[in-house]
Structure 1
Amino acid sequence: MSQPTYDVVAIGNAIVDILSQADDAFIVAEGMTKGSMQLVFSPADADALYAKMGPGREVSGGSAANTVAGIAAMGGRTGFIGQVADDQLGQVFAHDIRAAGVEFGTAVRAGEPTTARCLIFVTPDGQRTMNTFLGASQFLPASALDLDLIRSGAILYLEGYLWDPEEPRAAMRKAIDVAREAGRKVAFTLSDVFCISRHGDDFRQLIADGLIDILFANESELLALCDCGDFEDAIAHIAGKVPLLVVTRSEQGAMALAGGERFAVPAEPIEKVVDTTGAGDLFAAGFLHGQARGLDVQASLRLGAVCAAEIIQHYGARPEADLKALAERTLG
């Protein structure tokens, strides 16, 4: 087996986030579920909601893309596979992810629909409510996969958000096969309870088939996956089914289960939560960077917590502080 040349190669939605502040009354009036993600199925509906937004800012996003951008910021070598359209937002996404130091070479898709966008409303308590128009990202075909890039990554990282459309779902299944044939690890994030409600059986089958080496979830997602109402019951249910389970628990920190041993870290102290967009993505960045560097689970959890703390203290899901310096200070 050849040595990997990349730490993490990710496949996910290629999205440009548009963030704006909103109050709780607006969230209720628009029929949104605060703190969650919902899909917007037509460009017209996305345009109508965009028209109701206050002053906003555009920041390239996408869950897995945020994660590999965070790893690159710490000095890791990463690649990303995702579909954009031949339009202005597609150019913005491609420029931003390459500028972050991530290898990105997926060919653009001509014609409609447009590049994906996520309209994010941030309430005064820092909670983000996301409305995602998947656009071109949901048409990532298996033929667009860079198989050599997948084989060259120590870890293949997949996001549950992209499991919804049929075409990229087939592409990710192929990518899993390619990675495993090359002797690489496969990491998967459940992304959202919404994804589990639609594709929980698929996710549980991936786990049962032994195709997932590292599973990321937050507490709500873990409960939904295991159909449990109690956190400890859910942990007991999943124990032994994946080699490494990582669960984020907001202000309660994070925990991991590996080889029957349990690890935990507290949340990092911060001055103020500004925007929770990307908290899970950057936690995964810190954890995966630690794993790719050969750190133990405890140190990887701590690095994940540090990265998550950085991202929730400003708007947007791409780091603003020097993550590499933060990581070096964290790990001594």
Structure 2
Amino acid sequence: MRLTQIAFGYFKRYVENEISNARGKYIYKNIWGWKRIDFDKRPWVYTEDRPWTDAAKRANLPSELKKRGKIWVEPIKEWKIFKGDRRELHFGMPNKITEGILLGLGNPLLDITVVCPDNALLDKYGLLANNAILAEEKHRPLFEDMVHNYQTEYLPGGATLNSVRVAQWLLQTPRATTFFGGVGKDKFAEILENKSLDVGVNVRYQVHEGIQTGVCGAIITGEDRSLVTELGAAQCFSVDFLKQPENWKLVEAAQCFYAGGFILPVSKESVLALSHHCAETNKTLVMNLHATFLCDMFADPELNLMSYVDILFGNSDEAAVFCPLVGIKSTDLKEMALEVSALPKANKKRERIVIFTQGRKPTVIAHLGKVKEYSVEAIDPDLIKDTNGCGDSFVGGFLSQLVQGGSLEDCMKCGFYAAKVVIQHYGCQYPDKPNFTV
């Protein structure tokens, strides 16, 4: 055993010596042990090749280092030797949760939920018990009516903000996420901001005076849920606000960006600004089709948005509308996902991942020319309270592992976990602490 320890000790010093020499450092040994003398230091990039091999040294030639750019690495803690070995993290993301690592851009809405014993409120405003609509003029007084005459519950809402909140909850690191959107200057905006800050999201709202903050009224009667949405100030977000120096610093600090499709009709310029930034800096852009009526914008050749998308979410209905718009003729979901993943990309350093959900049926993923199905874990129907935030929470769970450098399997596992938790609550809610392990 003693001889083995001595041998390993010498071998470790040999590895250190080889790396040091390649970096312009020289190690010599005197009676006091190993010493280092530093000369012209050069960066060293760890590769899959052992550090003393010619292949590793060739990879560290100045001409090769310029080509590589920055690569995030993770130590393999269980290895006792070969410390120079490297494991490149999935999607090239860092494993340290830094402040603002995930940035979301979307339409913030304040969800106002009331539970009614009968249909009186529905009848008063001509609403159906199980429906979702955009507010008309006759619905304007509804939200004040809910606030003043019913017991209300407030939650930050909007599809993208829901996903960011779930990611923040799973990351359990204050201000790990940032969210941009537009609000009014009113009490709804104050509630929306405070509720978001309470869970740790760093919100950056563009305030529009004279325009009401976007709200979504949810009227629950029995097992039915009637949704009335007034987008309000969420429709007024502009790229000028995003590019303000103090805001653009947050963009530069982020490593992963999530923009929902719903923001495209509001400010496609903002989405393109983030898209170009991601391509230029080799960061990750994640987008969601979000609705069939938005597929035209994703397929618009003038916008050329899809060339910047690194990870695309959508459901089977959205996929069926989107694929023909980009010349994909197949009607098989797996083939559709595969062809979408192969569409041209601006940043060729990242292979596109396409994720198509289909309710209880397996989720389809295409990546690196292959397709895989992930089964959705069944849940007792008696535990289901509200499916409205299920898709948003799935994306949030996925993103929480993505920014930590998790594998695709880990990202999917966490997405399913988050959806299973949120589906057992009204609205996009969850316990104080997550119970997820990789």
TM-score over 0.5 (shorter chain): yes
The one-letter code sitting in structure 1 at the alignment partner of 2:218 is I
Alignment deviations for residues 244-298 of structure 1 (CA, whole Å, 9 cap, x no partner): 1112222224232111222333223333221012111111111111111111112
Gaps of 5+ in 1: none
SS of the residue 1:263 aligns to: strand
The one-letter code sitting in structure 1 at the alignment partner of 2:400 is H
Moved more, 45-54 or 134-143: 45-54
Judging changes above 3 Å, is the alpha-carbon distance between structure 1 residues 170 and 195 closer, same or farther for their aligned structure 2 residues? same
Give the corresponding residue for 1:266.
Answer: 375
Match of 1:143 among 217, 240, 257: 240
Asked if 1:155 corresponds to 2:256, the answer is: yes
1:1-332 equivalences under 5 Å are 5-20=99-114, 38-40=133-135, 42=136, 44-48=138-142, 56-75=152-171, 77-111=176-210, 113-121=211-219, 130-145=227-242, 146-165=247-266, 168-196=267-295, 199-202=297-300, 206-208=304-306, 210-227=307-324, 230-241=332-343, 243-271=352-380, 272-320=383-431, 322-323=433-434, 326-328=435-437, 331=438
Give the corresponding residue for 2:35.
Answer: none
Judging changes above 3 Å, is the alpha-carbon distance between structure 1 residues 88 and 200 closer, same or farther for their aligned structure 2 residues? same
Judging changes above 3 Å, is the alpha-carbon distance between structure 1 residues 230 and 57 closer, same or farther for their aligned structure 2 residues? farther
In 2: Cα distance, 1:118 partner to 1:100 partner: 20
The number of equivalent residue pairs is: 317
Q: How many angstroms does 1:21 deviate by?
A: 5.5
Q: How many angstroms does 1:322 deviate by?
A: 2.1
CA RMSD in angstroms comes to 3.2
Judging changes above 3 Å, is the alpha-carbon distance between structure 1 residues 204 and 156 closer, same or farther for their aligned structure 2 residues? farther
TM-score by length of 1: 0.83
Q: How many angstroms does 1:58 deviate by?
A: 2.3
Judging changes above 3 Å, is the alpha-carbon distance between structure 1 residues 65 and 100 closer, same or farther for their aligned structure 2 residues? same
Judging changes above 3 Å, is the alpha-carbon distance between structure 1 residues 239 and 172 closer, same or farther for their aligned structure 2 residues? closer
Q: How many angstroms does 1:121 deviate by?
A: 4.7
Give the corresponding residue for 2:86.
Answer: none
In 2: Cα distance, 1:123 partner to 1:33 partner: 7
Judging changes above 3 Å, is the alpha-carbon distance between structure 1 residues 192 and 124 closer, same or farther for their aligned structure 2 residues? farther
In 1: Cα distance, 2:304 partner to 2:384 partner: 35
Q: Which of the pair has the greater relative contact order for Cα pairs under 8 Å at 6+ separation?
A: 1
Cα pair 2:319 2:336 within 8 Å, conserved: yes
Alignment deviations for residues 128-183 of structure 1 (CA, whole Å, 9 cap, x no partner): 55432110111011121121111211111101112223xx2222222222333333
Q: How many angstroms does 1:230 deviate by?
A: 4.5
**Larger Cα-atom Rg:** 2
The one-letter code sitting in structure 1 at the alignment partner of 2:249 is D
TM-score by length of 2: 0.64
Cα pair 1:82 1:106 within 8 Å, conserved: yes
In 1: Cα distance, 2:322 partner to 2:312 partner: 11
In 2: Cα distance, 1:185 partner to 1:99 partner: 27
The one-letter code sitting in structure 2 at the alignment partner of 1:14 is P
In 1: Cα distance, 2:430 partner to 2:293 partner: 26
Alignment deviations for residues 38-78 of structure 1 (CA, whole Å, 9 cap, x no partner): 433x5553435885998653221111111111111112511
In 2: Cα distance, 1:104 partner to 1:46 partner: 26
Judging changes above 3 Å, is the alpha-carbon distance between structure 1 residues 268 and 169 closer, same or farther for their aligned structure 2 residues? same
SS of the residue 1:106 aligns to: strand
Judging changes above 3 Å, is the alpha-carbon distance between structure 1 residues 180 and 309 closer, same or farther for their aligned structure 2 residues? same
Gaps of 5+ in 2: 1-68, 71-93, 325-329, 344-350
Judging changes above 3 Å, is the alpha-carbon distance between structure 1 residues 180 and 232 closer, same or farther for their aligned structure 2 residues? closer
